[in-house]
Amino acid sequence: MELKICHIYPDLLNLYGDRGNIAVLAQRCRARGIDVSVHPLPLGERGDFSAYDLFFIGGGQDADQALLLDEIQQWRGGEIRAAIEDGKALLAICGGYQLLGHSYRTWDGKEMDCIGALDFYSVGDKTRMIGDYMFQWDEPSGGVKVVGFENHSAKTFLGSGVRPFGNVLAGYGNNGEDGTEGVRYHNVFGTYSHGPLLPKNPILADWLIRLALERKYGSAELAPLNDVLEERAHRYMVERLTKREA
Amino acid sequence: MRRLRIVLAILLCKLARWGLRRLGRGGTNLPGKLAVRICPDLLGSLGRQVYTILVTGTNGKTTSSRMLEQCLENAAIPAFSNRSGANLLTGITAEFVANATWTGKMRFAHAIIECDEAAFRHTAPLLDAKIVLMTNVFRDQLDRYGEITHTLNSIRAGIEQSPHATVCINADCAMSVDMMAGLPNPVRYFGVETPFYGDKSAGVTEVTRCTACGRDYVYEYRTYGHLGNYHCPGCGYHRPNARIAVTKVLSQDIDESRIEVQIGDATHEATINLPGAYNIYNAAGVMAVADAMGLGFEVIGPALAEFRGGFGRMERFEVGGQTIRMILVKNPIGCSQVLHYLVEGQDPVLLIFSLNDKTADGTDVSWIWDVDAEVLGQMEDRLTAVYCAGTRADDLAVWLKYAGVDSERIHVEYDDDKLLEIVGNATVPVYIIPTYTAMLTLRDKLARKYGLGQFWE
């Protein structure tokens, strides 16, 4: 089996160790004999989106994101929308997540159009929501606690065309108000979680790989891996955050 | 009334410092807090009496300060310095008080003050520095600064309030150079005009874009990170010429580097009493300061060969016949440099990483994933074992696993006492690589167990 990962805008959206997610996806494929390749797609470079199976967009600095909006409007927005509707797996973090929505309004009232692939919008705020956080993700049987680190000043509000990725157990999540975190739509996962997200949440990493392979090959079984270190790191944060909230 | 406040603030600050030391504690923060509370511009009235050399930037502040200290000592210029690394407004205030008389007269005419990037804008108007050394700008402790643009704005605000300062700037750091645009201060550029690692440039870098026309810079070579010889293909904007330029690296080993350096028209050979490419940059910055002060190479050259590193900055101890080295890391680029340095060696080693997520370390530990940890995979059998410690030891273990380190060699150890036993029983050289607060704790415990000097001495 073969899996092609496309890293969108690695040159601009590469903050907070998010590249760790790619390392984890790639290595977990390799460990199972899946022929995996990573294709960086920097600003200004064109690529055939239909050739890729799994997309990743990370977070960046606010200044860089404004620059990016121009280009993404022009042409790549349409390709990302098409890939999403085509059922491609996509993980978008923080700034990359915000880009998928309708719009982003800065705290001083400037309205910026995003690519409108998903039904939500974001509004900048003066105070940042920063810290370790945790949310409940119910898709896997029995539910899973996802741990991460959030660092955003924008508040995101979901529309009726999408559902939240999870419910906040500790921290702020989408907006610190309605208890939701991230977005789910087809095979898209949007979230504020840095950390990076996947190293301490191996179930989620495998979920993404499986979705991408199922879309491509119809079905996919992933052999279990030795996740002793990952599970320990996950458990440590779950316990710490549970204690913090108590 | 004001006079009384000054005396009272000094009195309490000195008392608190004395008291804390009697209790065996470093006490680098509380005394300053007291003083600032009683007399908010105390630092102003003390600072005005002194010729201050202020050192800021992301990496290399402490090491550069130690080099400068040695330089001034050799030049017979009496000076004091905030040696303990307390580099916020309160810590700097406490340091000035400790070097003032009860009535508020400074005992020294010169000060070497390292200052946190974010605190610089607040200390600058009080200190009115005569020289500012800005080492470089890298990503650091992101959750505190938000973004690197904030760091740059903060440093710029500090320089704007230092109208009498000559500013020493790293010519190879485009962001530092661009930050100075439009500021009237005299500038002394320093840089490195030879790539350290051939064409290999290390890991994740900041995207640096021309401030004039917005195109990405093109590099003739990089030394590390985003540092190097850059120019803009659009408008021709380019790296400024460096008056202090390292032209050759003659040799590098585990204890020192030898370089050839050009200062103005003269060429010199210098030995730097610390290994690692990043310390070559530190030395170049310090030579720029010395040059700005009118001190010749006959003063700064020997100082670079003699100085002792700051605590936790490549400090060397001997414990039970083994050499223990401690190297503080704070951010991806610094940590990558340390790992590249370790990979260059020949002998087997035991590594101890200690990652804390307290405020002074940065509460976001995701930065470790921006480190070129893959190079550790190249060490194979030379890496006898890696211990993961600190509040986020488990994060380190996962990180090392995905970096390609054999899981069998990765050990998680939360108990500092057991860690000390491991250090004491080591049969190969040990490298301890901690974040800031982890370094303070480990160093203190090592000192107590194996009788090393206390850090505030």
C-alpha triplet B441, B445, B447: angle, nearest 5° = 115
Q: Which residues face A183 on adjacent strands?
A: A190
In this predicted structure, the answer to whether residue B381 has a pLDDT above a threshold of 90 is no
pLDDT band at B199 (very low <50, low <70, confident <90, very high): low
Closest CA to A167 of A140, A138, A193: A138
Tell me the torsion sign for CA atoms B289, B293, B297, B302: negative
* Measured distance CA(B207)–CA(A149) in Å, rounded: 23
**Composition of chain A by helix, strand, coil, percent to 5:** 30, 30, 35
* Residues of chain A found within 8 Å of residue B398, distances taken between Cβ atoms: 199-200, 229-230, 233
Q: Are strands B227-231 and B322-327 parallel, antiparallel or unpaired?
A: unpaired
Two structure tokens written together for A238: 């779950």
Q: Which residues face A188 on adjacent strands?
A: A90, A185
CB contact under 8 A, A20 and B204: no
Q: Yes or no: say if B34 and B13 are a contact pair by the CB < 8 Å rule.
A: yes
Q: Does B254 touch chain A (CB under 8 A)?
A: no
Find the closest chain A residue to B392 by CA distance: A233
* Measured distance CA(A93)–CA(B102) in Å, rounded: 56
Q: Which residues face A41 on adjacent strands?
A: A8
As a whole number of angstroms, the longest Cα–Cα distance in chain B is 69
Q: Nearest CB to B398: which of A15, A19, A199?
A: A199
Q: Which residues face B181 on adjacent strands?
A: none
- B387, B398, B413: best to mutate for the A interface, most A CBs within 10 A: B398
Two structure tokens written together for B236: 């021709």
Give me the residue label for tokens 């910026």.
A112
Q: What does the pLDDT read at residue B140? A: 60
E strand segments, B207-256 = 218-224, 227-231, 244-252
Q: Yes or no: say if B71 and B299 are a contact pair by the CB < 8 Å rule.
A: yes
DSSP secondary structure code for residue B241 in this structure: P
* Measured distance CA(A216)–CA(A210) in Å, rounded: 10
Tell me the torsion sign for CA atoms B193, B196, B201, B202: negative
Interface of A with B in 165-194 (CB under 8 A): 194
Give me the residue label for tokens 């009535």.
B103
Q: Yes or no: say if B59 and B278 are a contact pair by the CB < 8 Å rule.
A: yes
* Residue A151: partners with Cβ closer than 8 Å, 6 or more residues away: A16, A94, A128, A129, A130, A192, A194, B142, B143, B146, B364
pLDDT band at B206 (very low <50, low <70, confident <90, very high): low
Minimal C-alpha gap between A21 and chain B (Å):
9
pTM > 0.90: no
CB contact under 8 A, A15 and B142: yes
Q: What does the pLDDT read at residue B202? A: 47
* Residues of chain B found within 8 Å of residue A236, distances taken between Cβ atoms: 394
If DSSP codes are grouped into helix, strand and coil, which group holds residue B245?
Answer: strand
* Measured distance CA(A122)–CA(A112) in Å, rounded: 10
Q: DSSP readout, A8-24?
A: ESTTTS--TTTHHHHHH
B227: left (phi over 0), alpha (psi -120 to 50) or beta: beta
CB contact under 8 A, B397 and A232: yes
**Positions in chain A whose pLDDT score sits under 70:** 14, 61-67, 74-75
Q: Nearest CB to B143: which of A12, A151, A195?
A: A151
* Residues of chain A found within 8 Å of residue B368, distances taken between Cβ atoms: 17
Q: Are strands B257-263 and B266-272 parallel, antiparallel or unpaired?
A: antiparallel
pLDDT band at B314 (very low <50, low <70, confident <90, very high): confident
DSSP secondary structure code for residue B148 in this structure: H
CB contact under 8 A, B148 and A61: yes
Q: Yes or no: say if B167 and B240 are a contact pair by the CB < 8 Å rule.
A: no
CB contact under 8 A, A63 and B147: yes
Q: Does B143 touch chain A (CB under 8 A)?
A: yes
CB contact under 8 A, A229 and B397: yes
Q: Yes or no: say if B371 and B416 are a contact pair by the CB < 8 Å rule.
A: no
Closest CA to B403 of B435, B378, B431, B381: B378
Q: Yes or no: say if A13 and A95 are a contact pair by the CB < 8 Å rule.
A: yes
CB contact under 8 A, B398 and A229: yes
Minimal C-alpha gap between B294 and chain A (Å):
40
Find the closest chain B residue to A67 by CA distance: B214
CB contact under 8 A, A226 and B412: no
Minimal C-alpha gap between B242 and chain A (Å):
28
Q: Nearest CB to B149: which of A61, A199, A236?
A: A61
pLDDT band at B85 (very low <50, low <70, confident <90, very high): confident
* Measured distance CA(B334)–CA(B296) in Å, rounded: 30
Q: Does B421 touch chain A (CB under 8 A)?
A: no
- Reply yes or no: is the peptide bond before residue B195 cis, omega within 30 of 0: no
Mean confidence (pLDDT) of chain B: 88
Q: Does B402 touch chain A (CB under 8 A)?
A: yes
Interface of A with B in 67-106 (CB under 8 A): none
In this predicted structure, the answer to whether residue B191 has a pLDDT above a threshold of 70 is yes
In this predicted structure, the answer to whether residue B403 has a pLDDT above a threshold of 60 is yes
**Main-chain dihedrals φ then ψ at residue A96, nearest 5 degrees:** -65, -35
Two structure tokens written together for A200: 């301490």
Q: What does the pLDDT read at residue B150? A: 82
pLDDT band at B144 (very low <50, low <70, confident <90, very high): very low
Q: Does B253 touch chain A (CB under 8 A)?
A: no
Q: Nearest CB to B369: which of A20, A226, A230?
A: A20
Q: What does the pLDDT read at residue B145? A: 47
E strand segments, B143-204 = 166-170, 187-192
Two structure tokens written together for B61: 């502040």
In this predicted structure, the answer to whether residue B408 has a pLDDT above a threshold of 70 is yes
Q: Which residues face B88 on adjacent strands?
A: none
| Second-level CATH architecture of A2-245 | 3-Layer(aba) Sandwich (3.40)
Mean pLDDT of B83-98: 88
Q: What does the pLDDT read at residue B106? A: 95
Mean pLDDT of B167-184: 94
For chain A, domain boundaries: 2-245
Q: Does A150 touch chain B (CB under 8 A)?
A: no
pLDDT band at B454 (very low <50, low <70, confident <90, very high): very low
Alpha helices (H) in B297-450, listed in sequence order: 297-306, 332-344, 393-402, 416-424, 436-450
Interface of A with B in 50-69 (CB under 8 A): 61-64
pLDDT band at B83 (very low <50, low <70, confident <90, very high): confident
Per-residue pLDDT reduced to its tens digit, B50-73:
999 999 998 899 999 999 999 999
pLDDT band at B205 (very low <50, low <70, confident <90, very high): low
Q: Does B414 touch chain A (CB under 8 A)?
A: no
CB contact under 8 A, B398 and A230: yes
Give me the residue label for tokens 């970096």.
B403
Q: What does the pLDDT read at residue A60? A: 73
Q: Nearest CB to A16: which of B142, B398, B402?
A: B142
**Main-chain dihedrals φ then ψ at residue A189, nearest 5 degrees:** -125, 115
In this predicted structure, the answer to whether residue B310 has a pLDDT above a threshold of 70 is no
Mean pLDDT of B356-371: 91
Find the closest chain A residue to B364 by CA distance: A149
Q: Which residues of A are known catalytic residues?
A: 94, 194
* Measured distance CA(A240)–CA(A169) in Å, rounded: 12
If DSSP codes are grouped into helix, strand and coil, which group holds residue B80?
Answer: strand
Interface of B with A in 20-79 (CB under 8 A): none
Pick B25 or B386 by higher pLDDT.
Answer: B386
* Residues of chain B found within 8 Å of residue A23, distances taken between Cβ atoms: 369, 402
Q: What does the pLDDT read at residue A144? A: 97
CB contact under 8 A, B407 and A226: yes
Ordered by where they begin, the domains of chain B are 2-306 (3.40.1190.10), 313-450 (3.90.190.20)
